[in-house]
Amino acid sequence: QFALISNNHYRSCYVACPLLHIKLQLFLFYVTLFPVCLAAFVLPCPYSVGTQQLHMVRLMLLERLLQHLSQLHNVGGVQAIPYMQVILMLTSDLDGEDEKDKGALDDLLAQLIAELGMHKKDVSKKNERSSINEVHLVIMRLLSVFMSRTKSGSKSSSESSSLISNATATALLSLGAIDYCLHVLKSLLEFWKSQQGEEEPVTTSQLLRTHTASSPPDMSPFFLRQYVKGHAADVFEAYSQLLTEMVLRLPYQIKKIADTNPRIPPPVFDHSWFYYLSEYLMIQQTPFVRRQVRKLLLFICGSKEKYRQLRDLHTLDSHVRSIKKLLEEQGIFLRAGVVTATSGSALQYDTLISLMEHLKACAEIATQRTINWQKFCMKDDSVLYFLLQVSFLVDEGVSPVLLQLLSCALCGSKVLASSSSSSSSFSGGGSGSAGQTGASQSSQSKSSSKKSKKEDKEKDKEDGVGSQEDQLCMALVSQLNKFADKETLIQFLRCFLLESNSSAVRWQAHCLALHIYRNSSKSQQELLLELTWAIWPELPAYGRKAAQFVDLLGYFSLKTPQTEKKLKEYSQKAVEILRAQNHILTNHPNSNIYNTLSGLVEFDGFYLESDPCLVCNNPEVPFSNIKLSSIKVDTRYTTTQQVVKLIGSHTISKVTVKIGDLKRTKMVRTINLYYNNRTVQAIVELKNKPARWHKAKKVQLTPGQTEVKIDLPLPIVASNLMIEFSDFYENYQASTETLQCPRCSASVPANPGVCGNCGENVYQCHKCRSINYDEKDPFLCNACGFCKYARFDFMLYAKPCCAVDPIENEEDRKKAVTNINTLLDKADRVYHQLMGHRPQLESLLSKVNEAAPEKPQDDTGAGAGLGTSSANVNRYIQQLAQEYSGDCKTSFDELSKIIQKVLASRKELLEYDLQQREAATKSSPGWSARCSTVICV
């Protein structure tokens, strides 16, 4: 009878009122077997059962259902959903003014919340999927539905919805739901962080899902129909994501209801909420969860400005702590506001990449919202001085980002944006159409007036922010001056204004030093002036690189009030150094030759010097696009790798891979770029030796992608490159296709791959006819590198540089010493060769002087000779130009490069010896008392 009634369209009419209680007993017996049928008996009765009687029946049924709530622990979330659907339906017509209905609702909420165990502090197992946790998740979704029920048109329904939402929010708030959700969020944070570090392998194919004969069940409003359809096999597959969503949604709904109802006490979100929500924003996770976190945090903050400030301050604090931790692992410590470093604490490329990621994240905030970066620096007064000291110890590629951070804090956003403001000054807001009507003109004037008002408001707001930035700039400069001593400031000026070979870095440091001066007190300005004049005697060693320093020195000297004594002292210093340099030039042994040559040949260098100037002969070389084929010396191949030896060392910033003649049967999915900076006789020494390579970047390609740009966060210095195609998109159905014989062009089945006409192996290389017996169908020919699936062209955005082999052990040290001796012997030979040109130059100069009085015989001959290359040029001058600008220049350039390599090798040797000495000191007793020293670069 039960089944018959449940399947009948008019099933409710079979229930007679006198027998209603007996039928309810039957329903409680079948509730776990036929949960959907239970809902049918709750439908409005079209016959003799009255509305009041039906309401009483629903309350009784709700009461009896709650008695079986504990039996859901082991049935799982899917089977608990029909039970919760019935409860949701039974609460649809509760009356807010009826005490019995209020009592039933309070009892329902108390039992549901008690089932969640919100009083328990230990929620560590909540993020583990189990039957009871699935049921708890469904209960949380039910509570969320209670608080989000929409108000319909009828007044009774509206009052019922308001009653349920207010009662649910009040019950959750009183029983500690806010703290409970926070504890669950804390527990889930570790899970999401662990998921962030794991790389999910990308599969080329997926298993077919089983097709269910019946349509997916209706689980609304707990799960949308589209979600159930997409997760028909397992609705709770993304359990952790669903749980995270709920513990974020419930506090949001509670606060939203509390803000609209003054009778409900407002929920309290302490500092822990801001911290953990900000932590969630920093980890990479699903966009939906991230959107929920942002929504809740923005709602708690109340305004976008406060939200951005809170998020930025937390992000900056997290990244700065990571930077300090990363540097401490490499032997660089911050103690009592002073950065100390162990000897030889050079940072590896992987460490520098991690450091750059944190610094760029800080720089992004500092550039877009400068005032938040300044407030963070004011909050933690050790940050700016820490960054200033670290800038001396890290790689020169990291220094521009550190200077950018310092400039944002000390100069403000207006100064940083001044360079780009000129390009954006033309906003294009003046010309209109000549044929406009009066109405359109009036509407345009109205819109322009609104626009101008909006612009005025934005301008006023920017002016307010700008004045606040200026005040913070002055405060931060005062803060930096309090920590920075004379040695640190001199080190900064010397390192970035004189020693840096990049003009962009020197101008960046110039801007920073200028604004430090402008925002400093008078006493501090006088100190900066003294420090710059203290470095003045060192300037001749830096040559043209001292331009920015001299500009600052002149500005400081003019703007700083000085006594007559100081003015005289500074003037004497300037004159003395100029006299000294003029004296050196006058008494230089080659001065006469240089003066004579400058009037005869195109004089662009001093090529007779025994000690080449490392400033003039180490010009700033810009990055340029270079084809890999034009700078490679040797290449070897494996089935998935190209190993290339370059012509010397190169600094590489970006690699562009162009893929042509692409075949869909097998396409590259993953490219790994490796580099090596060791000198080898033949590149085969590095083939199949992964331990000798450093990984620079890994990139993923989409199917059919024909170009990929490998942007390196930090330029690499490489003498050898290895491009590895590690993963592919493969069409397994293509294995049944026919192939073309490379010899007779006949169609051959892919299996077994032997031509029936000529007997050739169709899998042999089409270019060199090599056969790989280890791998049937390799991606690359391991003999010539030919690929039948695509053609690869590599373009490097790079520049040549001077680099030497790194020293990692005693064997490398011995090789370095031997190499230095070899280079010195070679330098001696080149120097003697260079000096051998001097007598020839002097002889040619004397012959030119002897032939000087001679003049052309007539003007007509001179005029006729203008069409030839050198008709009237003295042949001795031609020989002189070839001797000096050709032979001497070649020898001098070779000598300069040798000297640069010798100095680079000595520097590497010194760093290794310092590192070994530090290690020996640590291993000896009592090393802790003197384990670290302040490094002055």
**What does DSSP say about strands 666-676 and 707-730: parallel, antiparallel, or unpaired?**
antiparallel
Mean pLDDT of the chain: 80
* Burial class of residue 860 in the structure, from the number of CB atoms within 10 Å of its CB (0-12 exposed, 13-18 middle, 19+ buried): exposed
b/e per residue 205-241 (b: at least 16 CB within 10 A): eeeeeeeeeeebeebeebbeeebbeeeeeebbebbbe
What local confidence, expressed as pLDDT, does residue 210 receive? Answer: 61
Residue 8 has pLDDT above 70, yes or no: no
CA dist., res. 304 & res. 462, Å (int): 16
Range scoring the smallest mean pLDDT among 417-431, 443-457, 610-624, 824-838? 417-431
Query: In which region does residue 785 sit, left (phi positive, over 0), alpha (psi from -120 to 50) or beta (all else)?
Result: left
Tell me: the pLDDT tens digits for 25-41?
Answer: 334 434 433 443 444 44
pLDDT confidence band for 172 (50 / 70 / 90): very high
Query: What number is the average pLDDT over the span 68-82?
Result: 86
What local confidence, expressed as pLDDT, does residue 591 receive? Answer: 85
pLDDT confidence band for 198 (50 / 70 / 90): low
What local confidence, expressed as pLDDT, does residue 428 receive? Answer: 38
What local confidence, expressed as pLDDT, does residue 344 receive? Answer: 46
What are the φ/ψ torsions at residue 673 (nearest 5 degrees)? Answer: -110, 125
Note whether 748 and 740 are within 8 A (CB).
yes
Query: What number is the average pLDDT over the span 460-475?
Result: 74
pLDDT confidence band for 96 (50 / 70 / 90): low
Query: What number is the average pLDDT over the span 424-428?
Result: 36
What is the widest separation between alpha-carbon atoms in the chain? 143
List of residues 6+ apart from 337 with CB closer than 8 A: 382, 385, 386, 483
pLDDT confidence band for 123 (50 / 70 / 90): confident
What local confidence, expressed as pLDDT, does residue 206 receive? Answer: 55
| Nearest alpha-carbon partner for 831 in 636, 647, 557, 609 | 609
List of residues 6+ apart from 251 with CB closer than 8 A: 177, 178, 181, 267, 269, 273, 296
What local confidence, expressed as pLDDT, does residue 923 receive? Answer: 67
Tell me: the pLDDT tens digits for 805-838?
Answer: 888 888 889 999 999 999 999 999 998 998 888 8
Query: What number is the average pLDDT over the span 827-850?
Result: 86
Which has more confidence, 694 or 923?
694
Residue 73 gets which letter from DSSP?
Answer: G
Range scoring the smallest mean pLDDT among 76-80, 595-599, 809-813, 859-863? 859-863
Measured between its terminal Cα atoms, the distance across the chain in Å is: 93
What local confidence, expressed as pLDDT, does residue 126 receive? Answer: 86
pLDDT confidence band for 715 (50 / 70 / 90): very high
Residue 616 gets which letter from DSSP?
Answer: T
pLDDT confidence band for 914 (50 / 70 / 90): confident
Model pTM score: 0.80
Note whether 480 and 516 are within 8 A (CB).
yes
62-76, 158-172, 361-375, 724-738 — which one is most confidently predicted on average?
361-375
Residue matched to tokens 């000897």: 343
Which has more confidence, 46 or 105?
105
pLDDT confidence band for 937 (50 / 70 / 90): very low
What local confidence, expressed as pLDDT, does residue 25 receive? Answer: 38
Tell me: the pLDDT tens digits for 236-257?
Answer: 888 888 999 999 999 999 999 9
What local confidence, expressed as pLDDT, does residue 537 receive? Answer: 92
CA dist., res. 304 & res. 306, Å (int): 6
pLDDT confidence band for 163 (50 / 70 / 90): confident
Note whether 681 and 674 are within 8 A (CB).
no
Residue 424 has pLDDT above 60, yes or no: no
pLDDT confidence band for 659 (50 / 70 / 90): very high
| Nearest alpha-carbon partner for 654 in 623, 677, 692 | 623
What local confidence, expressed as pLDDT, does residue 12 receive? Answer: 32
Alpha helices in 519-632 (DSSP H): 522-535, 547-559, 564-586, 591-598, 628-631
Which residues pair with residue 338 across a beta bridge? 335
* Burial class of residue 523 in the structure, from the number of CB atoms within 10 Å of its CB (0-12 exposed, 13-18 middle, 19+ buried): exposed
What local confidence, expressed as pLDDT, does residue 393 receive? Answer: 84
Percent of the chain with pLDDT over 90: 36
